[in-house]
């Protein structure tokens, strides 16, 4: 039998389901970032504007400004092809273009397999 109480319960369940899907990676309302690996980072080149880097890699995990040198670094953490945890850094000049890049393993590679 269809009652107002049943209708409320169905509405609440539908809202909870929609919220759950929206919060899941890959849900209908979430744009997932590209998988991070060396091949993706090789697409970043000197002179590339910051906005193009953001479109290619997504938002950085960490950003740090260096006022004295008028530069900014964007860091992206990932697991390299050998299974080590690593960071890719794009360093931008004062004009917001890639001045250099750097890739290094975290903890000197001591965290392999952990």
Domain boundaries, the chain: 1-32, 34-114
Between residues 34 and 95, which one has the greater pLDDT?
A: 95
Handedness of CA 55, 59, 65, 69 (dihedral sign): negative
As a whole number of angstroms, the distance between CA 85 and CA 19 comes to: 32
As a CATH number, domain 34-114 is 3.30.1450.10
For 65-106, the pLDDT digits (tens) are: 999 999 999 999 999 999 999 999 999 999 999 999 999 998
Between residues 59 and 33, which one has the greater pLDDT?
A: 59
**110 has a pLDDT exceeding 70:** no
As a whole number of angstroms, the distance between CA 64 and CA 27 comes to: 30
Per-residue confidence (pLDDT) for residue 108, from 0 to 100: 67
90: CB partners within 8 A, 6+ apart: 44, 53, 57, 60, 73, 74, 76, 98, 101
Report the chain's mean pLDDT, rounded to a whole number: 81
Q: Are 73 and 59 in contact (CB under 8 A)?
A: no
Exposure b/e, 52-70, CB count within 10 A at least 16 = b:
ebeeebeebeeeeeeeeee
The model's pTM? 0.67
């Amino acid at each position: 039998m269809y009652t107002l109480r049943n209708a409320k319960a169905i509405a609440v369940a539908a809202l909870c389901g929609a919220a759950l899907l929206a919060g899941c990676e890959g849900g209908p309302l979430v744009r997932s970032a590209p998988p991070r690996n060396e091949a993706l980072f090789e697409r970043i080149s000197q002179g590339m504007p910051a906005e193009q880097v953001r479109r290619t890699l997504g938002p950085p995990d960490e950003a740090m400004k260096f006022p004295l040198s008028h530069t900014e670094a964007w860091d992206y953490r990932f697991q390299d092809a050998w299974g080590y945890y690593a960071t890719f850094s794009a360093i931008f000049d004062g004009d917001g273009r890639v001045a250099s890049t750097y890739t290094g393993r975290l903890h000197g590679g001591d965290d392999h397999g952990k």
